Amino acid sequence: MNKEKRFQSKCILLLFMLFVAVGSYAQQKVNDEALRYQQQRMVFQQWDQNKFKPSSGFLGLNPFYWLVWGFPYPNYHKKDLRPLSATGPQTQRLALVRAMQASDDKYKLQSDTVRSTAISQIASQSGLFSDADPLWLLYYKDQFDPVLKHTRTSILAGLSPAVSAKLVSEGLYDWYAAELDRLKERIDGAHTTDMDRGARIMAYYRLLLDYRKIAGVWAIRTASAETSIRMTAQQRQLQAGHQEVTNWTPQTDVETARKVLKHIQ
């Protein structure tokens, strides 16, 4: 009975030792040079023909070499197949990506230049920004102010009630007001329409000339009305015998002409 127990104990001990030995052997690190060299070649390291395992051996008599490399892949070790080699596919892809990135940067720079040019052209041609034009702010706005803001009071300002009544009764005021209204519409059109800045400035110039012509005619008409009223009053006084005839000289006409030119300018 004791012998059987000792035998069973020995068997269990042997099985346990065998299990431990097998487990320890299964956890050992495998060092396969052929596999390690192949992984190094295909990733980053140098394509070394001397590290193809198994090697050919002395005089090329190693049968394992011929079974692994010689017969199936005789030219495999002669060509560098690394993806990251100088001519590898991954290197070519990276170079292509870099070239495409450089091309994209050039296109982006060109598109930004076109965008900036387009914005500047829009700003110079759009009627929305014409109020900010320096030439309009410094000169033409003040010159066109009597046209853009004309009223009955501003038109007849500086004239006597008699002259104003005469201009209104004869229709001269209505004519001048209508001309200013038409000129205002043309100025608003040139000011708000989308056009080149040079064309807009030339339109301002032509409209300013038209305004000066109309203003000159209005100045002549007002001066004529004043002269007519004054002469009528003097004639009535002469007929009534209440005023002596003043001495006329050529200088009198010169002064009258100067007054007219002063209104025109």
Consecutive 10-residue averages of pLDDT for the chain (265 residues): 62 66 56 71 65 69 75 71 77 90 89 79 71 86 92 88 88 92 92 84 93 92 86 73 58 70 58
The C-alpha atoms of residue 214 and residue 223 are separated, in whole angstroms, by: 14
Give me the sign of the Cα torsion angle 96, 97, 99, 103. Answer: positive
Predicted pLDDT at 1: 54
How far apart, in Å, do the first and last CA atoms of the chain sit?
147
Comparing CA positions, the residue from 58, 38, 60 lying closest to residue 49 is 38
DSSP H helical ranges for 49-160:
63-65, 89-125, 134-135, 141-143, 145-148, 152-155
C-alpha radius of gyration, the chain, whole number: 54
Question: Any residues with CB less than 8 A from the CB of 76 and at least 6 apart, and which?
Answer: 69
Predicted pLDDT at 183: 95
Contact (CB, 8 A) for 202 and 229:
no
Predicted pLDDT at 85: 74
The C-alpha atoms of residue 86 and residue 80 are separated, in whole angstroms, by: 9
Q: Where are the domains of the chain?
A: 1-30, 31-76, 83-125, 130-264
DSSP assigned state of 78: G
User: Phi/psi class of residue 31: alpha, beta or left (left: φ > 0; alpha: ψ in -120 to 50)?
Assistant: beta
Comparing CA positions, the residue from 93, 109, 51 lying closest to residue 76 is 51
The C-alpha atoms of residue 197 and residue 201 are separated, in whole angstroms, by: 6
**What's the Cα-to-Cα distance from 249 to each of 12, 142, 234, rounded to whole Å?**
156, 39, 17
Predicted pLDDT at 90: 83
The C-alpha atoms of residue 63 and residue 55 are separated, in whole angstroms, by: 10
Predicted pLDDT at 230: 82
